[in-house]
Amino acid sequence: MPYAWQHKDLRRMATKGQVLAEFVGAEMAWVRFRTDPTVVREVLPRPLRVPADALATAFVARYPRTNFGVSYMEGALFVDAEYKGEVGSYCLSMPVDNDVAMVAGRERFGYPKKIADRIELEVRDRHVVGSVVRNRVEILRIEGDLPDERGREWPGAIAALDLKGQPCLKMVSWLFKYFPAADGGVFEDASLLVREPVLFRPRDGQRGGRLDMKLVSSPTDPLGDIPILEVVEAGYGTFDNTMLPGRVIRKVRNRYSFMPKALFKFDWMDLIDFDALPSRSILERWRLRQALRRY
């Protein structure tokens, strides 16, 4: 791709209309579990609320074919969250093994995607193993047997119709889109709450049963902070999925109240040795800002 597109190329792109990300034959192993509502309340940024039932979902997926030119692996951890009466899923972690997938999900929608060391999904007969390793730590592992045929479903999704009027399932993700400020401040402008729906079309052959799961914390990925109190359901199957356009539904203008719930997206915040950095008084910090402006 050239550094400067020609207008004819832009016009050709515009004639295609809205490009929807399609995932064909997505293999997904998932676990739905009950967690501690106090912990969920602690990690949810306002204005999201804890639903009546504090549930969470983790999955490991293989996307062998997409319409945006890449195939990749992905893991994820969501907690259920409510906004104005609608229950969706707030994404706490989404490691991937492809930089195109990372940038597309993070920059466009706000998914907290990071590059993993290794993501695996292995199915032998009815035994399923899913694993996510990042910074040399296995932060997510799903394993077990799935002997039961089950209905066409996806955890936390509701029945819907796709753009062709065919039955499908819809899951809504709540995401916060924000970027560190270039001047060293907190964030550029206000943080944006994004509502992004995904359509799931399960293929035949979905399976259910018992999957055990481990969530492990590392300095850069605190997945183990979400307690697994009870596994509610688990499954594995193949899906054809469509990511629909997101929509900004609210601006979060209080940057300092939002900041404690946002820094997990950036590894470097957990790697800096703040004790080794010099402490500066308010006056010294003001003088430093004034000096930097000369450059």
Q: What are the tens digits of pLDDT across the range 45-72?
A: 999 999 999 999 999 999 999 999 999 9
Q: Is residue 259 a part of any domain in this protein? A: yes
Q: Is residue 1 a part of any domain in this protein? A: no
Measured CA to CA, the distance from residue 225 to residue 273 in angstroms comes to: 22
Alpha carbon separation from 295 to 185, 222, 286, 288, 290 (Å, rounded): 17, 38, 15, 12, 10
Q: Is residue 90 a contact partner of residue 79, using CB atoms and an 8 Å limit?
A: yes
CATH code, 62: 2.40.400.10
Contacts of 222 (CB under 8 A, 6+ apart): 264
Hunting for tokens 């832009």 — which residue is that? 10
Predicted TM-score (pTM) of the model is 0.91
Q: Is residue 17 a part of any domain in this protein? A: yes
Q: Is residue 273 a part of any domain in this protein? A: yes
DSSP designation for 111 = -
The secondary structure of 145-188, three-state, reads EEEEECCCCCCCCEEEECCCCCEEEEEEEEEEECCECCCCCCEC
Residue pLDDT tens, the chain, 295 long: 678 888 888 888 777 667 789 999 999 999 999 999 999 999 999 999 999 999 999 999 999 999 999 999 999 999 999 999 999 999 999 999 999 999 999 999 999 999 999 999 999 988 999 999 999 999 999 999 988 777 668 888 999 999 899 999 999 999 999 988 888 877 888 899 999 999 999 999 888 888 999 999 999 999 999 999 999 999 999 999 999 999 999 999 888 888 888 888 888 877 888 888 888 899 988 898 889 888 9
Q: Look at the chain and report how many structural domains it folds into.
A: 1
Q: Can you give the pLDDT at residue 275?
A: 83
Measured CA to CA, the distance from residue 242 to residue 128 in angstroms comes to: 24
Question: Which run of H or E residues covers position 128?
Answer: strand 127-134
Hunting for tokens 């900041």 — which residue is that? 259
Q: Is residue 2 a part of any domain in this protein? A: no
Both tokens of 27, joined, read: 């293999």
Q: Is residue 122 a part of any domain in this protein? A: yes
DSSP designation for 7 = H
Q: Which domain holds residue 85?
A: 7-292
Q: What is the pLDDT of residues 273-291, one digit of tens each?
A: 888 888 889 998 889 888 9
